[in-house]
């Protein structure tokens, strides 16, 4: 038989591929289809969540009272906007003196929104309510929780300062001095550093100590003209930052200058977390 008449023999690799495909082809196709469906499903889920979050943010911006915020919470549970609405409700209740109801709202927020970026505001709100009700021990506990457990948050220096202020009221001047000095050392650039420096110097003189509070070199940014941020209240911005009188919820600030004898009030202003 001539060389042109020889029958070509398939390679071993081709035979193996054909054999594999005949045995497992259906499984491969099914698996590929399943992966494709999963990818489509994940994409659809995230797309739905993005649309839902956007609608929730718009609904939050359009809400201006407790009824409006409750609608946001009921229509868009689990969203950042719904969490912000919960903080707004708690803040509004505290602002009208309904501390019991406000505490319930904060506790519900803590339970349902543990991953919320403004979670610390609920703890600070509970501290503010406890102080307003004359429950100094509870207030000290919550302020301590904020300053120690969330020491990198914008409310940490304020909580530590208020902890020192309440500690001084209870007659523990040396412990209060330590709190004020700690504010200056740990948060020299914060608005509260100027207040803490003033009170630390005052207590140092009162206790007959000659040591002046020293801040880190970067403390030059915190001058006596610094104005402390205030209360979990503020006003809702286009990005959906919550804001309610008397408790943590939105961006804004009450800014008494530390050149007087006035003491900043225990109210803090959370930053906006919603995307338009």
54 Cβ contact partners less than 8 Å away, ≥ 6 residues apart: 275, 276
Please report, for residues 39, 69, 74, 103, 201, the alpha-carbon distance to residue 98 in angstroms, rounded to integers and kept in the order given.
49, 17, 22, 9, 37
Distance CA 143, CA 149 (A): 10
Q: Is the pTM of this model over 0.75?
A: no
* Predicted local confidence at residue 35, as pLDDT: 66
At 242 the pLDDT is 39
113 strand-pairing partners: none
What's the pLDDT at 274? 45
What would the CATH number be for the domain defined by 25-154? Answer: 1.25.40.10
- How confident is the model at residue 259, as a pLDDT? 43
For residue 192, what pLDDT is reported? Answer: 93
Provide the pLDDT for residue 167.
96
The answer to whether the Cα torsion of 231, 233, 236, 239 is positive or negative is: positive
Residues with Cβ within 8 Å of 174's Cβ and at least 6 positions away in sequence, in order, are 207
- The angle formed by the CA atoms of residues 192, 197 and 199, to the nearest 5 degrees, is 95
Residues 6 or more apart from 94 whose CB is under 8 A from it?
Answer: 102, 125, 128, 129, 132, 244, 245, 246, 247
Q: What is the pLDDT along the chain (276 residues), one digit of tens a residue?
A: 555 555 555 555 655 666 666 666 666 667 666 666 666 666 665 575 678 878 988 989 899 999 999 999 999 999 999 999 999 999 999 999 999 999 999 999 999 999 999 999 999 999 999 999 999 999 999 999 999 999 999 999 999 999 999 999 999 999 999 999 999 999 999 999 999 999 999 999 998 876 555 554 444 444 444 444 444 443 333 334 433 334 454 433 333 344 444 555 555 444 444 433
Give the pLDDT of residue 141. Answer: 96
Cβ-Cβ contacts under 8 Å for 219 (sequence gap 6 or more): 184, 188, 189, 193
């Amino acid at each position: 038989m001539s060389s042109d008449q020889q029958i070509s023999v398939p390679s071993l690799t081709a035979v193996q591929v054909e054999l594999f495909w005949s045995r497992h082809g259906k499984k491969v196709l099914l698996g590929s289809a399943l992966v494709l469906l999963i990818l489509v499903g994940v994409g659809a889920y995230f797309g739905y969540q993005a649309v839902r979050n956007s609608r929730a943010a718009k609904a939050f911006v359009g809400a201006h009272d407790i009824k409006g915020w409750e609608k946001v919470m009921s229509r868009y549970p689990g969203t950042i906007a719904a969490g912000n609405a919960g903080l707004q409700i708690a803040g509004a209740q505290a602002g009208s003196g309904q501390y019991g109801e406000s505490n319930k709202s904060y506790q519900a927020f803590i339970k349902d929104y543990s991953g919320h970026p403004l979670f610390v505001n609920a703890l600070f709100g509970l501290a503010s309510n406890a102080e307003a009700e004359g429950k100094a021990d509870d207030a000290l506990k919550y302020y301590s929780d904020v300053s120690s457990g969330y020491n990198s948050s914008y409310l940490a220096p304020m909580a530590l300062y208020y902890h020192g202020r309440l500690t001084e009221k209870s007659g523990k001047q040396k412990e209060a001095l330590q709190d004020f000095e700690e504010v200056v050392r740990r948060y020299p650039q914060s608005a509260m550093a100027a207040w803490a420096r003033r009170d630390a110097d005052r207590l140092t003189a009162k206790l007959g100590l000659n040591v002046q509070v020293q801040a880190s070199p970067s403390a030059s940014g915190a001058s006596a003209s610094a104005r402390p941020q205030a209360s979990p209240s503020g006003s809702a911005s286009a990005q959906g930052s919550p804001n309610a009188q008397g408790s943590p919820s939105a961006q804004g600030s009450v800014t008494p200058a530390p050149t007087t004898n006035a003491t900043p009030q225990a109210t803090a202003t959370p930053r906006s977390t919603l995307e338009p």
